[in-house]
């Protein structure tokens, strides 16, 4: 019988300097200390994932993070909070926690001397009205370049009408949404079981949650209502790039698989083909260094909708590993210079309206 032993997270050590490669990492995470202190005060029960993330030095230590970034000349980051979602951490204090988080991320960007070129605002998604106010404050007053939301909110789907104003305002402001998966161990692999095994809630569940949220939004007609909306999906769009056949020819049979009396479950306001709507999302390259996954995402979304991201610092080396391996995977791919620059830099500059020099 296989047995696994928990080991302490390895302390980051400086890595050999790489050749200068200009790139913008659009999906990497942080936990500023003041935010963590506010969570500790507001949360009824400490969460393991949140405590684990705080043990990563560069997650909450800006000086240590900038020292690490110095090992990658030309590399910049757009930061966003690490999970779990704020409404999971402390449901009754989400408005305050989002405000603290955004204030602190703005301060980090200001103090980074250009190495952090922006932040994606956190939102109190269990309060859509308050989320609207925080979006305007974060973008218009603090300089947020986008927002981060999760694939569900308290078990409710993003395509529910109460969340539509959030998508509307992001289209109005012409700022992108970072879509991060969320799923817990409490969602069992099978109905007969109490919890998920072997970290499959994360390894398989998170890509599934991403794909499910994307497809539900597409069928809900999100891009018909807001064709300018920009949603960047984490981890190369989950399993979406593998499903072109199912969402293409397979969905031509929509409704024929269901028994009589369930017609409401296949009615959709979507105009056009489901596959075309799904291709209107953007995706990042955060694949834990898998060249095959990035290649699949490239073929599905195209270079014009793929952005560099590493998921830093959730790697065994506490920061540098996924940056290095993702850059190496892209360098090994058969990309022309134009495609390479689009993925590494230009798509991010355009979507997030970055003006740094």
- Residue 230 maps to which CATH number? 3.20.20.140
Closest-CA residue to 154 (of 101, 230, 84): 84
More confident residue, 128 or 251: 128
pLDDT digits (tens, 9 = 90+) for 118-174: 999 999 999 999 999 999 999 999 999 999 999 999 999 999 999 999 999 999 999
Q: Quick one: residue 23, left, alpha or beta (phi over 0 = left, psi -120 to 50 = alpha)?
A: beta
Residue 3, domain member (yes or no):
no
Residue 262, domain member (yes or no):
no
Instruction: Report residue 4 as tokens.
Output: 């696994």
Residue 171, domain member (yes or no):
yes
pLDDT digits (tens, 9 = 90+) for 267-283: 889 999 999 999 999 99
Residue 6, domain member (yes or no):
no
Residue 135: which domain range? 23-245+267-351
pLDDT at 3: 41
CA–CA dist 206, 279 (Å, integer): 19
Residue 302, domain member (yes or no):
yes
Number of domains in the chain: 1
pLDDT exceeds 80 at position 19:
no
Let me know if 3 is exposed, middle or buried by CB neighbors in 10 A (0-12, 13-18, 19+): exposed
Residue 153 vs residues 93, 128, 176, 298: alpha-carbon distances, Å:
15, 10, 19, 29
Q: Are 207 and 233 in contact (CB under 8 A)?
A: no
Residue 256, domain member (yes or no):
no
325-332: average pLDDT:
96
Radius of gyration of the chain (CA): 20
pLDDT at 263: 85
Q: How confident is the model at residue 217 (pLDDT cuts 50, 70, 90)?
A: very high
Residue 180 phi/psi, 5-degree rounding, is: -110, 140
Give the strand pairing for 156-157 and 231-233.
Answer: unpaired
Give the strand pairing for 146-150 and 177-180.
Answer: parallel
pLDDT digits (tens, 9 = 90+) for 309-322: 999 999 999 999 99
Query: pTM (2 decimals)?
Result: 0.92
Residue 97, domain member (yes or no):
yes
pLDDT at 2: 41
């Amino acid at each position: 019988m296989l047995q696994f032993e928990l080991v302490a997270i390895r302390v980051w050590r400086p890595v050999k300097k790489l050749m200068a490669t200009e790139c913008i990492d659009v999906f990497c995470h942080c936990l500023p200390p003041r935010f963590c202190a506010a969570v500790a005060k507001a949360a009824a029960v400490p969460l393991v994932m949140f405590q684990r993330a705080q043990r990563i030095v560069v997650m909450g230590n800006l000086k240590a993070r900038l020292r690490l970034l110095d090992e990658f000349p030309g590399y910049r980051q757009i930061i966003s909070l690490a999970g779990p979602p704020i409404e999971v951490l402390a449901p009754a204090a989400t408005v305050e926690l989002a405000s603290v988080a955004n204030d602190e991320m703005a301060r980090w960007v200001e103090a980074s001397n250009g190495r952090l070129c922006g932040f994606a605002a956190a939102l109190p998604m269990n309060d859509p009205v308050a989320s609207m106010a925080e979006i305007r404050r974060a973008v218009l007053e603090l300089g947020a370049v986008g927002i981060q939301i999760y694939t569900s909110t308290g078990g409710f789907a993003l395509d529910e009408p109460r969340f539509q104003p959030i998508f509307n305002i992001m289209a109005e402001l012409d700022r992108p949404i970072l879509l991060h998966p969320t799923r817990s161990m409490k969602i069992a692999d099978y109905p007969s079981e109490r919890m998920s095994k072997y970290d499959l809630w994360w390894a398989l569940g998170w890509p599934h949650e991403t794909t499910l949220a994307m497809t539900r939004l597409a069928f809900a007609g999100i891009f018909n209502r807001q064709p300018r909306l920009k949603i960047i999906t984490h981890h190369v769009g989950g399993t979406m790039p593998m499903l072109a056949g199912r969402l293409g020819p397979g969905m031509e049979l929509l409704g024929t698989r269901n028994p009589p009396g369930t017609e409401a479950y296949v009615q959709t306001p979507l105009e056009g083909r489901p596959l075309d709507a799904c291709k209107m999302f953007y995706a990042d390259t955060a694949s834990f260094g898998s060249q095959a996954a990035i290649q699949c995402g490239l073929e599905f979304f195209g270079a014009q909708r793929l952005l560099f991201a590493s998921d830093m610092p959730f790697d065994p080396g506490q920061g540098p590993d996924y940056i290095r391996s993702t850059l190496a995977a892209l360098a090994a791919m058969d990309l022309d210079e134009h495609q390479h620059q689009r993925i590494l830099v230009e798509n991010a500059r355009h979507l997030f309206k970055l003006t740094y020099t």
